[in-house]
Structure 1
Amino acid sequence: MRVAPVARPAAPYRRRKRLILWAAGITAFAIFGYDLWSPLQGAVAVLYIIVVLLVAQIGTYRGVLLTGLGCGILALIAFATDHFGDPLDSAYVRFGVSLVAIFAATLLSLRDRSARTTLAEQARILELSHDTVIIRDANDRIVYWNDGAHRLYGWAGEEAVGKHCGELLHCEFPADQVDSALEQHGHWAGELMRDRKDGTRIVLASRWLLRRDPEGNAIGLIESSADVTEKKRADAERRRSEQRYKTIFNSAGFAIWEADWTELHGHIRKRVPSGLDLAGWLANHPEVLRESRAPVYVRDVNTAAVELFDATDREALLGNSILAWMPAGSEVEFASVLAGLAGGADMVEREVRYLTLSGRPIDVLLRMRLLAGGEPWSRVLAMGLDVTERNEARSKLEQASAELAHAARVSTLGQLAASIAHEVNQPLSAIITYGKSAKRWLAKSEPDVAEVANCLDQIVSNGSRAADVITRMRALARNGQVQVETLHLCRLINESIALVEREVRQHQIAVRFSSGGEDVLVTGDRVQIQQVLVNLAINAIQAMCDVQGRLRELHISVEAEADVMMCVSVCDCGNGISGDPARIFEPFFTTKREGMGMGLSISRSIIEAQGGRIGAANNSDHGATISFTLPVAAADQPIRKGAMDTSV
């Protein structure tokens, strides 16, 4: 470490140094001259002590040492000049005493200089300290005031020194405790309050040390203090914040608990093969949570959590492992939570299933996040909302909605009864005709086997045609679990058009279907989507029944929307929708004299439940268009089955 160059002394100091050096030199030569001619025979040499003391005031350690040595040499020269060859007498004794005195004065001066240097450095250290250092006498008057005190209190040293400390700073401290501690131990440490020059009240952490004289009598105090006002304010704010958090924590209407996941995370981390990401690996191996015996300890819970898990009190949950609350088969959800947090997510939300302490299964909407502070994964905050009743109500609503949709389909079949009878009657009549024809060919003297075979082929074909009609009707009328699967949209539309074919012919309506020439795959429930298509087609046909003087056309089109949705539009050329078109999807709103107003409302519920949307708008010329969207199926998407919300 390089030391910065020392600044040159100020001019007054340099002048004083030169004067002292001149005075020391003149004094040394004067003593030397007087010693040469004095009859005192070596006794004058003791005066060289004056020269040593003069140089010791301003000289360096080396300078003082050389001065003492030089004075001894001068004394030796003077003595040898007068007494060389003389026998030993009292003069030698006086000369020896003088040399001892010179060298003793030199050593004492060096020691004094070292002590003064140490004191000066200590004083500088006190000035450099950020803490305040104040020295007081026995009457509480300030005798020393460092720069730290100047910076903190605002008074300069010349303003504070000599003032009564209590009157200047308006101290507030436990006087009895301070007096007792100083009397028993000689020191005291604690907090006190004082005023700054600008009137600001501050809090200080202070240490007081009793000053004593060599006889052990108390002569004052030395104190060192640091401003802790901001720290106290921050501590108070932290306590208030913690109290607010605790109040919110315990008063929240939903369950909150904090758990330590350190052991579980460490155990799983050891299982992850080298080089693989924890989040990705855990998502593919959720069973590791069940296999792991590492506990996940609950550190804190609120009142709502106690109620959620059917516990008698907080102690029934604290220290237990949340893995014990996981029912079989719930590893996937919990693994996805852990994987999300391990992947860096700030918060992860999942709906999971827990077992309460009484063994009751509950559905919980869970939000989890890692808290800062402490070891990694040692503080995981979980917030849970009991959605068991909501899920049960939703399940009942889905069941009611499914039954309502089934009733609507049956109602639609009622509207198509004549068409169904016609579609079935035609192949049945053909079967009877071909059956009679086959009998006639067989009744001939020489039966025509080829003609009989042809009649039988026609019978089979028309039987299959009738079976297809009945199959479509039964599918539309079924009341089963919703099945979300990959569908050929264009095929489904063509099948739906076939169901209303007789109504189309009866009302002389032209049907046009445009799809861009490609069959597209979408996801949804086949029966429910066909129900929507048939309902929209029947509504369009009925809207054009009274149209005169222009072409009656039902146009169904399919086009892509944003690459992830397919839009199906059913357009008629009737009289349009009066009022706000959006109202036709409201329950019990109808424009028909005998309508119930449920068909389009159910259609909206079906489409929205399958991830799409439905809307209506009047055309610019005649009629209206109702459009709905369905999500495009992924290329490798398998058939999935499950409940779906089709609530009205």
Structure 2
Amino acid sequence: MQPIEQELKSCLEEADRYRLLAEQSTDMISRHTPTSDWTFIDVNPAIERLLGYTPDEIIGTPGYDLFHPDDADNLKKRAESVRYRRGMYTNVYRFQHRDGHYIWLETTSRTIRNDDGHPMEIICVSRDVTERELAQQATRRLARVVEASSDLILFCNHRTLQLTYMNESAYRTFGAERENLAVFYLDQLFPKAVLHELVEPALQHAALYGTWYGSIPLYPAGNPGRIAEIREIIAHRNRAENMRVEYYSIIARDITLKRQAEEKSKRQQLEMAHMSRLLSVGEMATELAHEVNQPLATIINYCNGTFRRLDEGQITEIEQVTRAMELISTQAKRASEIIKRMRRFVRHTEFQRIRFPINETCEEVTRFLNQEATDHNIRFEFELDPQNPEIEADRLQIEQVLLNLIRNAIEAYSGSDISPRPVRISTRIEGQRLLVTVADQGPGISDEQMQSLFEPFSTSKENGLGMGLSISHTIIESHCGRLWAESDGQSGTRFHFQLPLRGMHD
């Protein structure tokens, strides 16, 4: 065989190998005219799997016509989806399938030129990247949502506890700027006690169970006055490394405005409660004056009697004077206790959650109403839980609720000839909550009145403002409790309120 023939045979064999490789490739390999219409000159069989066309159907078709309208001029515009390196362009775009829908292709193309530098054809290698592109689009959409979220979203390295990402809300709450990048660590954001007692156990819980939910306070040092709280921690695992935790997502919320609104509401509630107590004392002025007048009148009688006996010489020993002084002192203390009780009830105080026994509080309130009960022929009856349950609450506000309910029970007998007139106060533990009931046997409350019973300014009293039950309802709800009434409209009314037992409130 001549050398020329042998060389020709080798070239043909090499060409066959390249064609075989092209035909067996899962990537679409195509040749196009170097014109603007990008007409198909040749293509391997992979086009049928990618685009649904056979090679014979697509050859001679302008490729430009199959581009998605938004992607047709990517190369001309040097869009973000186009990359250039060493004479080759890589373009990501949408191309029309034979069925009419679009798929995402990633094409690397190169222009073949003759010896004079004129373009002869364009060689392209294309692959279907639809799944990858849709996943990236979803990731980009998620990133936009995360960045625009009003919640603080932080990514935290599970070993170093460095914050590797913060969204715009986090930067704003921390008083930092993206332009002046600062490195944040969790131990910089929390006092040591909070870090060890709350944050680290939350991270460990998320590492074990995947997520943690709760509330951890966060006071950004770089932005005094702001208040946030961590509400959720998610542990993300690396599936390629034995499912080890790779990083944490920490979701927090700026609650500054919420806290300010709560504080404002609390102040308004305290003002309303104080005004209600003053009104209650004003309504009871006659009874209170009478109750104070009794020990004062007794003191005057003891003094006058002692003076008279001294003048008449009936007192000859110091023990007789001492006895008179003891009786006077007892009545003075009684008057003093009445005044102290009244002053304590009407004083203006901030909200104070303390631990106290509810049974004693019920008895204390009835002592405050003793004169009013006597004037209306009321008999107090107690059914108090023998365990003497304790609650954590603002004692003055709970006393105010009891006062309002017991006075309503007393007034329920007004205008009726019912006798006897009991007002029963009972306490009972129900699971992790305390139930307090104030019941009377008056004529009851009608269905129509029941509908608006706890609304402001709703009252059946001639001179009442209708604020007592409304304020009581607000007070009990602010203590994570519930207040309601039961009545058949004929044979009495029962007011109930429930409160968490000591240590059981949220």
In the superposition, the TM-score normalised over structure 2's length comes to 0.70
Match of 1:361 in 2: 225
Say whether 1:380 aligns with 2:258. no
Give a deviation string over 1:501-523, Cα, whole Å, max 9, x none: 22222222232222255533222
Match of 2:358 in 1: 489
Amino acid at match of 1:311: A
What's the CA shift for 1:593? Answer: 2.7
Gaps of 5+ in 1: 1-134, 150-163, 174-190, 192-197, 206-224, 265-295
**Greater Rg over alpha carbons, structure:** 1
Say whether 1:448 aligns with 2:311. no
Amino acid at match of 1:348: Y
Amino acid at match of 1:410: L
What's the CA shift for 1:418? Answer: 1.6
Pick from 261, 276, 292: which aligns with 1:424? 292
Map 1:197-276 to 2 at 5 A: 232-264=129-161
Whole-Å Cα distance in 2 between the matches of residues 412 and 419 of structure 1? Answer: 12
Aligned 8 A contact 1:257 1:299 in 2: yes
Match of 2:120 in 1: none
Pick from 545, 550, 565: which aligns with 2:433? 565
Match of 1:276 in 2: none
Map 1:250-329 to 2 at 5 A: 250-264=147-161, 296=162, 298-312=163-177, 314-317=178-181, 319-326=183-190, 329=191
Say whether 1:503 aligns with 2:372. yes
Pick from 396, 401, 406: which aligns with 2:264? 396
Determine which structure has the larger helix proportion and give its number.
Answer: 1
What's the CA shift for 1:602? Answer: 0.8
Aligned 8 A contact 2:151 2:169 in 1: yes
What's the CA shift for 1:315? Answer: 4.1
Whole-Å Cα distance in 2 between the matches of residues 483 and 513 of structure 1? Answer: 27
In structure 2, relative to structure 1, the CA distance for the partners of 1:417 and 1:620 (3 Å cut) is: closer
What's the CA shift for 1:492? Answer: 1.2
Aligned 8 A contact 2:205 2:212 in 1: no
Give a deviation string over 1:512-549, Cα, whole Å, max 9, x none: 22225553322222211111111111112222111125
In structure 2, relative to structure 1, the CA distance for the partners of 1:517 and 1:390 (3 Å cut) is: closer
Pick from 472, 480, 493: which aligns with 2:341? 472
Give a deviation string over 1:62-86, Cα, whole Å, max 9, x none: xxxxxxxxxxxxxxxxxxxxxxxxx
In structure 2, relative to structure 1, the CA distance for the partners of 1:483 and 1:582 (3 Å cut) is: farther
Match of 1:435 in 2: 303
Determine which structure has the larger strand proportion and give its number.
Answer: 2
In structure 2, relative to structure 1, the CA distance for the partners of 1:368 and 1:567 (3 Å cut) is: closer
Match of 1:170 in 2: 55
In structure 2, relative to structure 1, the CA distance for the partners of 1:257 and 1:584 (3 Å cut) is: same
Whole-Å Cα distance in 2 between the matches of residues 568 and 201 of structure 1? Answer: 69
Match of 2:416 in 1: 547
Whole-Å Cα distance in 1 between the matches of residues 482 and 268 of structure 2? Answer: 21
Amino acid at match of 2:16: A
Where 1:381 maps in the other structure, the secondary structure is: strand
In structure 2, relative to structure 1, the CA distance for the partners of 1:510 and 1:341 (3 Å cut) is: same
Say whether 1:618 aligns with 2:501. no
In structure 2, relative to structure 1, the CA distance for the partners of 1:411 and 1:235 (3 Å cut) is: same
Match of 1:414 in 2: 282
Whole-Å Cα distance in 1 between the matches of residues 200 and 477 of structure 2? Answer: 31
Where 1:585 maps in the other structure, the secondary structure is: coil
Where 1:355 maps in the other structure, the secondary structure is: coil
What's the CA shift for 1:559? Answer: 2.0
Aligned 8 A contact 1:406 1:478 in 2: yes
Amino acid at match of 1:355: P
Give a deviation string over 1:214-255, Cα, whole Å, max 9, x none: xxxxxxxxxxx9x986xx443223212211211212222333
Whole-Å Cα distance in 2 between the matches of residues 484 and 514 of structure 1? Answer: 26
Whole-Å Cα distance in 1 between the matches of residues 250 and 143 of structure 2? Answer: 15
In structure 2, relative to structure 1, the CA distance for the partners of 1:434 and 1:569 (3 Å cut) is: same
Aligned 8 A contact 1:259 1:378 in 2: no
What's the CA shift for 1:465? Answer: 1.1
Give a deviation string over 1:34-89, Cα, whole Å, max 9, x none: xxxxxxxxxxxxxxxxxxxxxxxxxxxxxxxxxxxxxxxxxxxxxxxxxxxxxxxx
Match of 2:66 in 1: none
Amino acid at match of 2:214: E
Using the TM superposition, name which of 363-372 and 418-427 deviates more.
363-372
Say whether 1:348 aligns with 2:213. yes
Whole-Å Cα distance in 2 between the matches of residues 573 and 261 of structure 1? Answer: 65
In structure 2, relative to structure 1, the CA distance for the partners of 1:524 and 1:420 (3 Å cut) is: same
Amino acid at match of 2:383: S
Aligned 8 A contact 1:571 1:626 in 2: yes
Whole-Å Cα distance in 1 between the matches of residues 195 and 461 of structure 2? Answer: 49
Gaps of 5+ in 2: 1-12, 27-42, 49-53, 60-91, 93-98, 107-124
Amino acid at match of 1:342: Q
In structure 2, relative to structure 1, the CA distance for the partners of 1:361 and 1:262 (3 Å cut) is: farther
Aligned 8 A contact 1:419 1:502 in 2: yes
Where 1:379 maps in the other structure, the secondary structure is: strand
Say whether 1:609 aligns with 2:487. no
Amino acid at match of 2:154: W
Match of 2:37 in 1: none
Aligned 8 A contact 2:429 2:435 in 1: yes
In structure 2, relative to structure 1, the CA distance for the partners of 1:480 and 1:446 (3 Å cut) is: closer
In structure 2, relative to structure 1, the CA distance for the partners of 1:435 and 1:549 (3 Å cut) is: closer
What's the CA shift for 1:395? Answer: 1.2
Where 1:361 maps in the other structure, the secondary structure is: coil
In structure 2, relative to structure 1, the CA distance for the partners of 1:445 and 1:605 (3 Å cut) is: closer
Using the TM superposition, name which of 232-241 and 479-488 deviates more.
232-241
What's the CA shift for 1:377? Answer: 5.6
What's the CA shift for 1:405? Answer: 0.6
Amino acid at match of 2:226: I
Say whether 1:576 aligns with 2:473. no
Aligned 8 A contact 1:301 1:317 in 2: no
